[in-house]
Chains A and B, each alone.
Chain A
Amino acid sequence: MTLHRSMLTLTALLSLTACAAPLVDKVVGRVAGISAGSAAVKPAEGAPQIWFTLTGRGIKFPMSLISQRDGVNVYGSKDGSQVFLRNGMLIGTRGFGRDLMSAATPTPASLRAGIAQPRSYYDLDGADTSLRHQFSCKIERDPADPNHVSELCVADIGTIRNEFWFDSAGSISKSRQWMSQGVGYAAVERKDG
């Protein structure tokens, strides 16, 4: 938070010296009856939920299914952030800062079968330039728990370790997956009740 405040200081310095600020542009924002109400996409009543944890930030919150298309479930939180899960694999996030814009991931079946596949993560740097991070991966099985699989991946930006827990039907019931350099890991759990 100190960082944020420091930036504000710099902004303050800049705004302070901006002699003749642009004028009317700011007024235009109130055209056409736009209310500043919540911009978050609302889930349907009783939509399925997951627990989502930003492990680095120590925040856990529920997210509700807001869209299901093309084999991907999109879950949204109350404040409008979103995650994209394809069969439980995290392939996108929106609204967390350094978001995962898209990803190529292995399928749960190949993970479970112990077949390693490369991963591609796409994110944006602070200047909104798209970056691709290519990881090569290997699979580690948990000798004590046949339903627990770890995926170790390495790229120029570092090593990551994704972990998956499968249910008896072969679906991912719980996972800890890497999101981005800025955010770190996220844990996803079914909220079956």
Chain B
Amino acid sequence: MSVKTSLRASAHRTYTNIVKAEGLCVSFGKVQALTDIDLAIGRNEIVGLIGDNGAGKSTLIKALTGVVRPSSGRLYIRDELVDLGRYSVRRAHALRFETVYQEKSLGEKQPLWRNFFVGRQIVNRLGFINVREQRRIANEILQSHLGFRSLGIDANSTVSNLSGGERQGIAIGRAMHFDADLLVLDEPTTALAIKEVRKVLDFVRWIKESGRAAIYIEHNLAHVHALADRLVVLDRGRIVADIRPMEMDLEELARFLISLQHPHSGIAA
């Protein structure tokens, strides 16, 4: 209960940045995945994260959402310093951070009522799950947010039977239900049909309109360029550019990204 009340309080308090990293480094053994990341995301800002494969985009969002522990640096959430030693996915959830991955955030063989609540189940004092309540809420989300019930999908459906777009819908519905202040979208449109892509893009617009913030990883430059307030470019674990889309059109952006790939060979423009 105390967590909840403190959450309410923090939600009403004003803050400039929902999340801010200072000198954040992540290393896996000897491999330095992220070096000296300084990044701040405003309370109602959509930040597009772009860069080549292996540039560290996924690692960065994992560090911000508690999946991966940074080796050094500082992290502020709602302008308050976070104890990195205690920061975890659970903590990030409690701070109302939600992540939408297409492939990597749903248990394949598990029913939707488990997938919506796993990691923060509705339980009694002994840790037993209130299945009836979880099913009821899951069905509600499916019906009200997603309109999925008409497709024969209900709380007992397993994820393995859903299409890519439906999975994405489930992950989005989950994020909406938990009323996040920061949404992290990791390549949400990969392998989706055009109609489904449009739904995801509408969702990103909804994030902006409803006063929330988002970090948006996307390979399709046209999508991020159109939707993001700011584009952060990562290359080999470092932030190499921070661009406002109005200042650079899509073509210039693409040229800039290509130039990053050949910085030493003299091919760069």
Answer yes or no: are A and B bound together in one complex: no
User: What residues make up the interface of A, taking CB atoms closer than 8 Å to B?
Assistant: none
- Residues of chain B having any CB pair with chain A under 8 Å: none
